[in-house]
Amino acid sequence: MQTSSKFGYNAWENFPLRRCRAEIALAEGAHGIAVLNVRPLAAGHFAPAAACAAASARDECRPSGFVRLANGARAAFDELGDPAGLPVLYFHDAGSSRLEAALLGEGARQRGFRLIAFDRPGVGQSDYFPCKSPWQYCRNLLAALGELGIGRFCIVSKGSGGIYALQLCREFRGEPERIVAQANLAGVPARALASRVGGCGVLAGLAPLGVNALLRLKPFVSPDAPGMVLTKLRERLSLDDRMLLERPDIADVLEADQAESVRRGYRGLAQDLAISFRKLEVRLADIAVPTEIWHGSADRLGCRTDCDYLAARLPRARLHRVVNRGHFFFIHHRNSIFGSLRRHCREPLPVPAVHANPTNYASDANGTPPAQCKAS
C-alpha cells in the first residue's frame, strides 16, 4: 500500500489511531480558572467524516451518490443521520463542500433526521456549470428532490449557504407545507442583503467579477501547501475554536473538506464565492418558514450584526446566541440545533440522548434555555 505524502504515513491503515477519544469543552471554573471537562466519545462518533478524511489521502472520498439536476448536470451528495428520518437539506458555507455536514451528522441521527448535503456546481465531485445566482441553482436542484423521494423537509445552512436556503424557501412560497423549518448557522453575509442602489449596487455588480477572477488565479500565484488553510485559520479563531482544531478527528475532517472543495480546481469555488457577493433576489419579509438562527458569541469570522439583521427581518425568526462559543459552536450544540427543528415537526420527538456535559446546551447571558433565546 502506498504511503500518503500528505500525512507522512499510511493514512488509510493508521488513521483510526489518530482519532481523539475525548470531547473537550472549556468551562469557567471557580476563581476564573479554566477547567477541562473530558467526556469519552462513543466509537464511530465521527466515523463517516473520519473515513472520508482518511480516504481523501487516497483520493477515494466517494459521495453517497449522485443525482441529475434539471439541466442534466450531476450533483454529488452525502447522506448522514437516520436513513428513515425526516429529510434535512444542508447548504454548506462558501469555500467548503458537502463534507462539512459530517460535523452535524451525529446530531441529526440522535434527533431522527436524514441529513442530505450536496456539493454545489464545480465544488467537490459535482459537475461544473455556469451559475449566476442562487435562483438558478435552486431551480435546478428541485428535480433532485423528486429523484431522492423528498416531500416535506427541513433546511440547515451555514454562512453563505444561507442565501441558497432563503432562495429555496422563496421557491416554495406557494407550498408552505413542504418546508417545515430551517436553521441558519452564523447568519447570512450582509453583502448579500445590501441595497441595490448607490454604491452598494455598484459593488454588488463588480465584486463577483473580481472575486471570481482572483480565485481562479490563486493556484498559479499563491498555492497553499497541504494543511496551510487550517494553519492560517487558527490565527483568526477564538480560544474555543482553536481548542476544537487541536482535536485530530475534527482537524482531519476540516482539512478533508478544504481539499474536497477544490478537487476539480478553483473554478467551482470561485463561482460559489462570487455568488455570495451578489445581491439576494429575495425579500426577507416574504419568507414565512419558521427560522432558527444560531450564532456563537465568540465567533471571530462571522459578524454578530448579520444574525441580528436576519432575525429582525424574517417574520418567523428566533435568534439563539451561544455564549462563549466560537465559529464552530455547532459542533458542541448540534443536538440543540436539530432539537429546535424538531419542535416544528408533527412527528413525535425521539427519546433524547442523555448529555453528560450540561454546557452542551445553548443559553443566553442570563442562562435562558435556547427555546427562549429571542432577538430583541
Domain CATH number, residue 197: 3.40.50.1820
**240 bridge partner residues:** none
The SS3 of residue 347 is coil
- Tell me the three cell numbers of residue 235: 490565527
The pLDDT of residue 189 is 78
Q: In sequence order, which residues have a C-beta less than 8 Å from that of residue 164 and are 6 or more positions away? A: 91, 120, 134, 137, 138, 157
> In this predicted model, which residue has the larger pLDDT, 60 or 324?
324
> What is the reported pLDDT for 23?
33
190 within some domain:
yes
Domain around 313: 11-347+357-372
Residue 145 falls within a domain, yes or no?
yes
Q: 279 versus 103: which is more confidently predicted?
A: 103
Residue 2 within any structural domain of the chain: no
* Contact between residue 206 and residue 214 where contact means Cβ atoms under 8 Å apart: no
pLDDT in tens, 30-49: 333 333 333 333 434 444 44
Confirm whether 1 is domain-assigned: no
Q: Is residue 3 part of a domain?
A: no
Reading the block at residue 234, the C-alpha cell is 487558527
Q: Is residue 81 part of a domain?
A: yes
Q: Is 51 a member of any domain?
A: yes
In a domain, 352, yes or no: no
Count up the domains in the chain and report the number. Answer: 1
SS3 180: strand
Task: Determine the average pLDDT of the residues in 142-146.
Answer: 90
